[in-house]
Amino acid sequence: MRALNRFAEMKRKGEKIAVLTAYDAPQARAQEQAGIDAILVGDSVGVNILGYSSEREVTLADMAHHTRAARRGAPDPIIIADLPFATYDTPEQAAASAKFLQQAGADAVKFEGAFPDLVQVLGTLGIPVCGHLGYEPQHCERRVHGKTLEEATKIFSDAKALDEAGVFMLVLELAPAELAAAITRAIKAPTIGIGAGPATDGQVLVFPDVLGYAEKNFRHNRRYAEVGATMRASAATYLSEVRAGLFPTLANGSTMPAEVLARFEAEILERRG
């Protein structure tokens, strides 16, 4: 098992933790080569890669499939895999689901919501847990959570409960920066923000968002490339060259040796012609 305690040490030293999602071997390989601290195989694979309408459609089989792919691409980094919707409704179900993803190559699992009892159950089985509070894509509407006193108090209390139960990391998504900062100061586990301000112990972004796959951008994201535009332009250029007869050329293939061609023409083509 890869050591997870280095994240707590990074928090203690004030070193920021960089996490990205990855859903296949090439993505994970690129992130490993870049030196990423951890890879999240998120249920965001559903809307970003599989064409689902929401994260709720992602299955445990989907998550295992993409976890295996990421692990093949990145043998060494910490890989955290999401438990998808309705796969951790009971401690027994959570344990079976987490073991399945662990067998697929995950070092740890992540689930949404304040379920400290599940953290403890999985901990006794040797399965580390990353928590997830704020906006929970499987369970609530997409908006900033924690802007009212009631919501902020609950998220803060939930974060403390998860920390006491033993999460090794806590994702805070679409939470006010002040709330995320207060939680970061109050708990032992490193906090990983996404749209939660700069004071968290680290950050996570969805890799297709980082790469600019889609035309839509999010306030919490920064596009470090425009891969979507490059993909569209490349497809259009390929289409035009094929239709114009510009691709392929003989340079893109191979030819027969002259003596073989001569015999082929004489013995095969002329005989059958």
Cβ–Cβ < 8 Å for 209, 21: no
3-state secondary structure of 190: coil
Nearest CA among 79, 62, 74, 75 for reference residue 29: 74
**Measured CA distances, 243 to 240, 248, 250 (Å):** 5, 10, 16
Residues in the chain: 273
Q: Is 173 a catalytic residue?
A: yes
Q: Which residues contact 156 (CB under 8 A, 6 or more apart)?
A: 179, 182, 183, 186
Single-letter amino acid code for the residue at 51: G
Q: Which of 136, 150, 173, 241 is catalytic?
A: 173
Q: Determine the 3-state secondary structure of 86 from DSSP.
A: coil
Q: Using an 8 Å Cβ cutoff, are 131 and 115 in contact?
A: no
Contacts of 131 (CB under 8 A, 6+ apart): 110, 111, 114, 119, 159, 162, 167, 169, 170, 171, 189
Distance CA 218, CA 93 (A): 34
- Cα separation, 56 vs 179, in Å, equals 27
Residues with a known catalytic role: 173
